Every structure is written in C-alpha cells, then in structure tokens.
Structure 1
C-alpha cells in the first residue's frame, strides 16, 4: 500500500478505510471514478480487524466478530466478496441466552431446533416463533430495501406497504416502535423467546423498556434464524481484505498510516484534503468521510465553514455506551454446565428480563452495572481455523457508562468480574485460560479512532437520533452543507453494524451530484434544503 507522496488529484478521496469507506470507494470505482482512500491507522477495515492478541496461533477479532447484517445486506451481497477471498463459517448454533438458573434459550438456523428450545419454556412459543419467522420471510426483501435505501426510501417503502397492506402495515409500524419487552410479552408466553428478543436488542444501547428497541431485537433475531451469525474464515480481517482487494482490482488506491487533518473548503465546496504530512489531495468530484460526524464537522471541516445551528446540533450528538472487552486464549472449549451453550457462536450471560432492565437502568444512570450482561463469542467453535486444535479463542464484552476513568487496576478487577460470571455457568473455565487481553474504552478508542469513548455503534440507536435525526436533525442523507462533501460513516443513516449502508448512500449521493444532466440541479437542491434547515 502507498504511504504518502507528492500532491495528487483524483475524482474522489475517501477519508477512512473502514467498511463504509471501502464500500463507498468500491461503488465509485465501479462507476469508473479514480478513487484514493486515506486511512489514519496501519490497517484497512476500521473496526474489522484480526490480530494475535494473546499468543501466536490464536487469532482474535479485535473489535467486531459476527456479521448477520453483512450476510443480509443487499449492498454487501452486491459486491460479491466471495470472489475476492471471503469465506463464511458458522457455529453449530447461532446464539444461546443462558439464564441465572442455567436454562438456555437457543437460536438455531434450523427452525425446528429453535422452536423446540422455545417450546421448552412454554409449549405455545415454538409455533409463535414460526409465525413470526414466516412473517419475516414475507417482508424481508422490501424491509431490507427500506433499511438500506437513502432517505426517504419512497419506492422501497411503497413496496413494503403493498406487501403488508394497510392494516398489517399499521401494526408493523407499531411493533417497530414498541419496547422490546412489550413485543415479547405480546407475542410469547415464556421467557425463552422474550430473552432472545431483549438480549439481541441490547447489542444496541437500548434496554428492554426503551421505545424502538423492538426493531433491533426483532431484526437480529430474525436474521439469526435466517442467515445465522456468520464469521469470516480465518478472522474478521479477511472481510476487510476482501473489500480492499476488490477495490484494488478496479484501480482504487489505499494509503494507510496517512491521517487526514483537514478537508479543504472554498466557496462552500469541498476541494480535497490535507494529510498529516502536509500533502494535498485534490478531489475533482467528491470528498467522502468515513469518520464520526462530530470529527468531520469539528475537526476536519472547521466551524468557520459551517452554519452555527448545525454546530449546535453536533454538540448535542449522543454517543452510545462505552465498552469493555476481554479476549482469551483457552486451553480447551468452555466447559458449560448446560451443553446447549457449547455449540453456540454467541452466548448471552446471564440475566433474566428483570436483570436486563436493571442493567440498562444502571447504564442510563451512569453506574457500572452490578450484574452486567455479557455478550460472549466462541470463535474456534464458529471457525476451527482460529486457534490450534483442541483450544478455543473466546471473548466477552459488556457496556459501561461513557466518561468513566478506567485505570489498569480497575480494568483488571472488572475483567475478573466478567470471568466470574462465565465461571458460574462453566465451572473450570478460569483454569483453562492460557492468557487474556483486556481493552477498556480508551484502549478501543486508541486502537480505532472511530470508536469514540469506546462506543461501538457510532452513536445512540435511540429514536431521537435515527432517520432524519441521524446524526443531527436534517435530511437523513449523507449530503452535508458543504457541496461535494459526504458523510459516509456509521453516525449517518442507517447507522452502526457492518452492512455498508452509510458508505453506499454517500457514494450514491456523490454519483447523483456528479451526474452530467442532473448534477447541477442536485447540488442546488441540497444547498437550498440545508440553508432552510440551518438558518438562524
């Protein structure tokens, strides 16, 4: 990869080689554009990275690890990454939610197996799950088109409305806006299915009682049943490498260890960027920024180029919770008391519904939860290439409040607490630890600058920061008040997770702006709309 050089001129410069930046660059290269991607770190992929954090031969996913949204995303599927080295692997089962009493609700790609597990909690719930999954299959394609289409998704929403009909459409909108605990109570009779929904909702920062948490719990649960929670063979980094390889085959260039310090603006238009070495890259058509929105506006553009009202909105941008993550090299598989957890790629530990509500409430109040919910990954169980035969690579993360200080001693003690939760359900677990690696919020942020304060979803998933409110009240699009500058990072709609949506939306906007016939009109329209939005 290139690491600097003389001033350059390209059609588009992409700031950041995270998954969204690489998706945007690929789509622009597909359109014949000359594209250069500038990445601050030595690695492509952003929060998609694999490293030997503990011992040689143990391949750990440093940040993200399981990719249901990638497998389902029409954007990612359209890139045909399997032609560039990507291979998916699956654990025997998708997810197990282990309760305090050691019962487990198991989500499997086999609907019969999921149904049987949930029926053990209540005989009626297996059939209720099948009905919910059948409804998912009916609306899956139009719903995903709505999710990944630039806002407003008029055509995709029309197709979804036709599929649902008026009465079911209203009920569907109500379902998506309800708290996930309400959805679980209305749909199921036992705790098993309710915990699958609520636990999956907490992959965001929305607790069981939060309005809109149902959409995340329902979506991840249905995707788990449909496409599973797959992992890239050999490590998450191979997903990033497939994106980078595809881009290079189309003439795109990537320069790592080359942080951008400024977006160059004149006359209200983005003209290019300056990197930390002082080198300029001029952009004939567009600058796309795969960075958090506050970083783009405050650090790279500068307040002198932006409306005061926008800057005020940026200062109100709300991050999601911070994260603590522990990685382990284990001498053998985790010795679960309940064997149903042994085959699950992802394990949720170990709260019931009331416990999940307490955990969320403590986070909201700024306290470190007394009984944290753990999301645990069994990576060698999912992909045997991750560690030597007979061993296991595993990790667990949990959310903690933002803006707390985490010194080495506090992190060590918290990691011990995490291990004690696992040990409670897998006696002998700690004796199998060969080595561990602990990352607190500041460590995550240092290792990947987009994980601000250890936030892994690029901003809260709450309703007040979604759709036309993401990242600030506006158009729900990647266009910015600066002509030919586009926000391509996950703090833009449709948000976090590895699906390429923000990057694809930014690329589409840049292509529309540069269109030979409509381009000038598109630019005038965006400038008019932004002027109205941010007028003092």
Structure 2
C-alpha cells in the first residue's frame, strides 16, 4: 500500500520535500495559504509588463550548488542559471571597489599584498564546491559526508570573521570583501563561526558562481512544481491550514513553517517539551527591502561594479562590523549594511528599453518601524553619486510588510530564526533529529531547521530523507 504525505507550506523547502517524496512513489499533497506557491522564491512584474523583480531571494550561490536541486534535476525541468560577469563587488571609499571574480587568480592579483592569503583561504574549497556545500548544508551535530574537508573549513571557519580578517589580511579591500560575505549570517561579525559564511560564499563565487535564475527566482519554484506534479503530487492553493486536526489522514505531515506558525496551528498536538522549546525560539535581525525601476544602470563610481550580480554596500570593514553589531542590539545604524542585486545586468529577459530593475535590502533590527529608506539610499548614493536621479519608481517592504506577505518572515527575519548561540547548533530544538517534530509522523522542513535560510531546498531534502528513514525502520 502506498504511503501518503501532507506538506504544509509551498516554499522552496516544502516543495523540495514534496518533490523528493513524490519521486519515491509517495502520494503527496501540498497545502499553501496563498494564491501563489513559492514562499520567498517568487517574482512579479512590479513595474509593469516586461519588468521582472524578485519578491524575495535574488542571487543563488547555494542554489546552483545545492545537492537537493541537483538530485531533483531542476535544470532538466526548466530552470536556467544566468551568471553575471562578476559574481560580487564591494564598493569602497575613494571610488574603488573590491571584486570577487570567478577567477580566483584574478581576485588574488587585484588584492595585492593580500592575494596569496586570499588564495590560500579559499582555494581548496573553490576546487571542491559540492563537497563544501554538502558539509555546510546540514546539521552541524552529525558525521559530515566529507570529514577531512569539514575539518579544514572548521579550523578557520570557527573564528569570528572580524578576528580572521585581522589575522590574515592587511588591506581594507580584502577585509571588506570577507566581511561582506560573512554578513550573510546576519550576526555580529565578532561571533564564532561567522568566518565559515565568508569562506563558503567566497569559494562558491570562485567556482559555481553567484547566479540568478533566468526569468526570476520564480523559475526555481516552477521547476520544483514540475517535478512534483510529474510524479503525481498535488498542490492546493488558497488553502490555509489553521489546525493540524483539519488535515486529511497521512503517514507523514511536514511543516514548512517556523516555530511561531507551528505553535499557532498545533497548540495541543505537540508534546509539551517540544512546544516549550519552540516557544523559546528567537528570531534574528530583519531586512527592509526596496525594489527599483531605474532609467539606466546604477552610476557606480567604479564602473566595473555595474557588471556585478551582487553588490555589498557596506563600506569599510569596521563600518560593517559596527552596523551588524548595532542591528543585533536592536539599534538602527546610521550606515546599514545594504545588499544590492543587479539581476537585469545578468538576465536581459527581465527588462527592456534600457531600463533596469534593481533589488535591495538593508539589515535592520527585527520588526523595526523606522523609516529606513533614507539610510538605505544614502548608502548606495555614497558609492554611486547620482543614484537618486536614475530612480523612476520604487516599491518598499518594511519588516512588517514582509511578514504580512509571508508569515515565515517574522519581523523581517529571512533566515527562519537567529543563528546566534545554540540556535546555530540546535534548530529548532536540542535534538540529534532536528527534522522530527517531537512526535511520530510529524516533521519540520523550514529554514528553522538546519542549515537555515536561503533558496536551496536543503531543509526539505533532509526532512524528506528523515521521513523515508523512519518508514524504513518501521516497515
């Protein structure tokens, strides 16, 4: 007799779990509260026909290298990655920028005195990108699939990014380049393990790149849905689940939800100890997002930045450290760390008539109601004088607006919960089996489980494998 599974939430993790189970012959139904599937992997023509903006995630260094997406063969199901000329740029005062090239030798050469140490720090992992991702994209409390490589990453990756940068680099350019990538952790860069983020992001830039999805991040969602539907799965939209007891009978229920939503829909169905741990879950810093339609390219002082897919607008090393420290203390920095993605510079299908779509967000305190736009735009203007003159239209999303759009983005937290303290090791509860939700047949597959946020499907992959393992043990 065939097994049945229900997935609540059609974000990339829920769809990944559903698709993988469907390929194993499981009868799967996905319930999504919204009219559209995809969670934070959606796109829309915000500025009219032919101008495609990503509503959530934009660039995908971990997506292109994801074991989950490779196992599901998304590139054979309509997904096409588009690589920008330069994966990432980091503008600096004085009109220059540090550049992360696909070519590690070119990057090292441009970093001058720090080139040899940059190469030594990233070279091994850039030669083994898939092993690096397989090690990093799972529970930390496990035997990694590539133990020797994990030890190599852990030796330096365990250090705070601020410490590592000061230990191995002398120039502001190399320090800023590492700090900008490490800031993807949305943690103070004086915290342990933040270096691992910087090393991994840099190594992927030198190997598999930091691509965008052609036609928008929704293309990832569409490919996942094709795999699911082709294997007999079903998706029900406009179908919000408010109580687990309302779901049809299933052998496994997988929740692509964060602890706040899990407690809301299952107040009496969870074991008391598990529910108590979820109630103590802490959400991390948020983001304030602005999408732009521009009358041409951003006028970066360093013209090379216009060819970069992702731009880290944070200034010097010390300024990034201060900004990330402030937001994690609940203070809005004067000069926030701003992420910019120039998708249309890489993917011409997203725009026309010489205009550009631009994606940006600033790291902010969780749930802040402050007017962030002036500080965000001032940061861009610092390194691109005249930016305001090319802005035709903008769409702004505060942390509360992001949460209203997608309830998993609590207070604007795009990572499913803080990575600080024990929450980096134990997501969402202290357990060696993080994808089991404390009772038989119930699982969690959201970014609140390892490895955390991002559009790569790995929580969904691990949760689906946990289901299959549990069934194997009981059969």
- TM-score, normalised to structure 1, is 0.84
Is 2:33 the partner of 1:40? yes
**Is the contact between residue 201 and residue 207 of structure 1 (CA under 8 Å) also seen in structure 2?**
no
Q: Which residue of structure 1 lines up, in the alignment, with residue 121 of structure 2?
A: 132
More divergent stretch after superposition (60-69 vs 395-404): 395-404
Q: Which residue of structure 2 lines up, in the alignment, with residue 238 of structure 1?
A: 219
**Is the contact between residue 327 and residue 394 of structure 1 (CA under 8 Å) also seen in structure 2?**
yes
Is 2:210 the partner of 1:229? yes
User: Secondary structure of 1:325's partner?
Assistant: strand
The superposition leaves residues 167-207 of structure 1 with CA deviations (integer Å, 9 ceiling, x where unpaired) of xx3x6433122100111122222122221111111122112
Structure 1 pair 475–214 and aligned structure 2 pair: CA distance change class (3 A)? same
For structure 1, list consecutive stretches of 5 or more residues without a partner in the other structure: 1-8, 265-273, 275-279, 521-536
Cα distance in 2, alignment partners of residues 83 and 385 from structure 1? 20
Structure 1 pair 321–476 and aligned structure 2 pair: CA distance change class (3 A)? farther
Q: Which residue of structure 1 lines up, in the alignment, with residue 308 of structure 2?
A: 344
Structure 1 pair 441–281 and aligned structure 2 pair: CA distance change class (3 A)? same
Shift of 1:507: 0.6
Q: Which residue of structure 1 lines up, in the alignment, with residue 236 of structure 2?
A: 255
Correspondence 1:38-117 to 2 at 5 A: 38-117=31-110
Is 2:426 the partner of 1:462? no
Structure 1 pair 230–155 and aligned structure 2 pair: CA distance change class (3 A)? closer
Structure 1 pair 334–140 and aligned structure 2 pair: CA distance change class (3 A)? closer
Q: 2:401 aligns with which of 422, 427, 443?
A: 443
Q: 1:490 aligns with which of 447, 453, 458?
A: 447
Q: Which residue of structure 1 lines up, in the alignment, with residue 428 of structure 2?
A: 471
Shift of 1:483: 0.6
Q: Which residue of structure 2 lines up, in the alignment, with residue 180 of structure 1?
A: 161
Shift of 1:461: 1.7
Is 2:411 the partner of 1:453? yes
**Is the contact between residue 367 and residue 412 of structure 2 (CA under 8 Å) also seen in structure 1?**
no
User: Secondary structure of 2:447's partner?
Assistant: coil
Shift of 1:361: 2.2
Correspondence 1:35-434 to 2 at 5 A: 35-119=28-112, 123=113, 125-137=114-126, 140-149=129-138, 152-154=141-143, 156=145, 159-161=146-148, 169=151, 172-264=153-245, 274=246, 280-283=247-250, 285-296=251-262, 298-302=263-267, 304-406=268-370, 410=371, 414-434=372-392
Q: Which residue of structure 2 lines up, in the alignment, with residue 528 of structure 1?
A: none
**Is the contact between residue 291 and residue 450 of structure 1 (CA under 8 Å) also seen in structure 2?**
yes
**Is the contact between residue 293 and residue 489 of structure 1 (CA under 8 Å) also seen in structure 2?**
no
User: Secondary structure of 2:34's partner?
Assistant: coil
Cα distance in 2, alignment partners of residues 261 and 382 from structure 1? 41
Cα distance in 1, alignment partners of residues 140 and 181 from structure 2? 25
For structure 2, list consecutive stretches of 5 or more residues without a partner in the other structure: none
Shift of 1:374: 0.9
Is 2:474 the partner of 1:519? yes
Shift of 1:458: 0.6
Structure 1 pair 143–429 and aligned structure 2 pair: CA distance change class (3 A)? closer
Q: Which residue of structure 2 lines up, in the alignment, with residue 524 of structure 1?
A: none
Q: Which residue of structure 2 lines up, in the alignment, with residue 530 of structure 1?
A: none
Root-mean-square deviation over aligned CA pairs: 1.9
- TM-score, normalised to structure 2, is 0.95
Cα distance in 2, alignment partners of residues 463 and 430 from structure 1? 40
Cα distance in 2, alignment partners of residues 323 and 150 from structure 1? 25
Pick the structure with greater CA Rg.
Answer: 1
User: Secondary structure of 1:281's partner?
Assistant: coil
**Is the contact between residue 146 and residue 153 of structure 1 (CA under 8 Å) also seen in structure 2?**
no
**Is the contact between residue 340 and residue 359 of structure 2 (CA under 8 Å) also seen in structure 1?**
yes
The superposition leaves residues 273-297 of structure 1 with CA deviations (integer Å, 9 ceiling, x where unpaired) of x2xxxxx4221x100111112321x
Shift of 1:322: 1.4
Shift of 1:351: 2.0
User: Secondary structure of 2:209's partner?
Assistant: coil
Cα distance in 2, alignment partners of residues 461 and 172 from structure 1? 18
Cα distance in 2, alignment partners of residues 127 and 85 from structure 1? 40
